[in-house]
Structure 1
Amino acid sequence: MRLLCSSSSLTFVHSLRIALDGEGIDTFCSDADSNLSSIAGPMTGTAARIYVLDEEDWDRAVAVMKHLDPSIGRAEATTGQARGAWPQWVWIGLGLVVAIVVAGLLGGQH
């Protein structure tokens, strides 16, 4: 069993699983974390993983995945996050810092 894809996009992972099943490639889909979809979700890591069960199916599985998302061929690791994009927890933290700074500026002008 070998990890093919780890993504926070359940839509992509399940589409990939269906495409792999259609090609006769045996997979295991681990999406147990999907019930953690909340504000803490982005901080808990990826939501779903696809594993290829038979090593001899690996090259075909990679080809199917690249066909679904051609941008994957340009990256060495496959994640649901775009290359160079910041994780969601960074955006949440920045939003909190901005809110505190604005509140401090507005609160100090009496």
Structure 2
Amino acid sequence: MLVLMGYAMGTVNAHGFMSSPAARNSAWRFGFDTTPNYNDNELFCGGREVLHNKNGGHCGVCGDEWSLPQPRPHERGGEFGRGIITANYNQGQVIPVTIQLSANHKVS
């Protein structure tokens, strides 16, 4: 079963963002006083070619392109990493997470 899941995950090609809890790249969509990121559904490490051919499979912690200067835009101290807390939870708490897919690119 894990092998099948791994295969299916390897063929995903989509755009999206985490809406609950609101991720720092999308917090502006939900009324938080953050810089709007109109490309908040494109945190994919710079794209497949950049990720593998330019950066040797390395990806920034928050999905930014690895080769960008630090702090990268979505990391703490970057343009979108301003320390805005969008939700609070207790240690060990199970939390609901909602992901919004904004584009699904079919993979053959």
Give the TM-score band, short-chain normalised.
Answer: under 0.3
Could you state the TM-score of these two structures normalised by the residue count of structure 1?
0.24
Could you state the TM-score of these two structures normalised by the residue count of structure 2?
0.24
Bigger radius of gyration, 1 or 2? 1
Structure with the larger helix share: 1
